Amino acid sequence: MTSADQPVVYLDVQDNGVAVVRIHRPEVKNALNAQVREALAEHFRALARRRDVRAIVLTGGTQFFVAGADIKEFASASAMDMYRRHTEYLWEAISRCPKPVIAAVNGFALGGGCELAMHCDLIVAGESARFAQPEVKLGLMPGAGGTQRLIRAVGKFQAMRIALTGCMVTAAEALAIGMLSEVVSDDQTLPRALELAAHIAALPPLAVEQIKEVMLAGADLPLDSALMLERKAFQLLFDSKDQKEGAAAFFEKRTPQYRGE
């Protein structure tokens, strides 16, 4: 098999309900091209349908997560070229995945790499990780959620600073401004993400999926509407077998066995 024939995204589904999706284009620091985006979308669409998968870890290499978009693919593109690509449908496969997605970020997460991490639900970063939206330095702007997800995560003033200057943000700074879930030593990034994923995967999947859905949908609703959405989802879960199992296990002082039913 030649390097051109090798997968650019690898998938490993573990016995504990955790799937690991790993981007592998080390020769270009995992730069996102059409092939990578399409492979990611294909994997995430398939994982969304698998009942044996309850949590997903998305990662890159030990030296870089994703160093950005592959500039060769758009350097001379026209507006219509970019429009016809409809890459938003590929990104939506990740953002709309009902399973919790944890990004394990080591090294650079720049441009599209930073946006990719922000498509996830939790971000675990190594101490040496670096984040940036440097598109402005190419006469562009973030185009895959970088302005909108960033401002929702860290607020107007930090988001403006990052997007308008293209500055590099350290892992410690990113954690301080609310951009990350955790920062760990570089050698613990993937193990910690896998630990979190395994913990979530052991919980009742219907409740986990409802929590994710309601939190994401409610964030853009008026508070009264979001609270109503929360109540309805809360009430709905009382019809699940997992809720009854959880209550029974609590009273019987045993470990519950959740089946996603």
Q: Which of 60, 68, 107, 112 is catalytic?
A: 112
* Whole-Å CA distances, 79 to 24, 76, 83, 140, 257: 29, 10, 6, 12, 52
Strand locations in the chain (E): 9-13, 18-23, 55-59, 64-66, 101-105, 108-110, 122-126, 130-132, 169-170, 182-184
DSSP annotation string for 4-30: GGS-SEEEEE-TTSEEEEEE--GGGTT
DSSP annotation string for 114-131: HHHHHTSSEEEEETT-EE
List all residues 6 or more positions away from 239 whose beta carbon is below 8 Å from its beta carbon: none
User: Which of 149, 137, 37 has the alpha carbon at shortest distance from 85?
Assistant: 37
Q: Which of 39, 109, 126, 135 is catalytic?
A: 135
115: annotated active-site residue: yes
135: annotated active-site residue: yes
**SS3 assignment, position 100:** coil
Q: Which of 19, 41, 55, 69 is catalytic?
A: 69
Q: What angle do CA 45, 66, 128 make, to 5 degrees?
A: 130
Range 217-252 burial, b when 16+ CB lie within 10 A, else e: ebeeeeeeebeebbeebeeeeeebebbebbeeeeee
Q: Which of 107, 109, 115, 201 is catalytic?
A: 115
73: annotated active-site residue: no
Task: Tell me the catalytic residues.
Answer: 69, 112, 115, 135
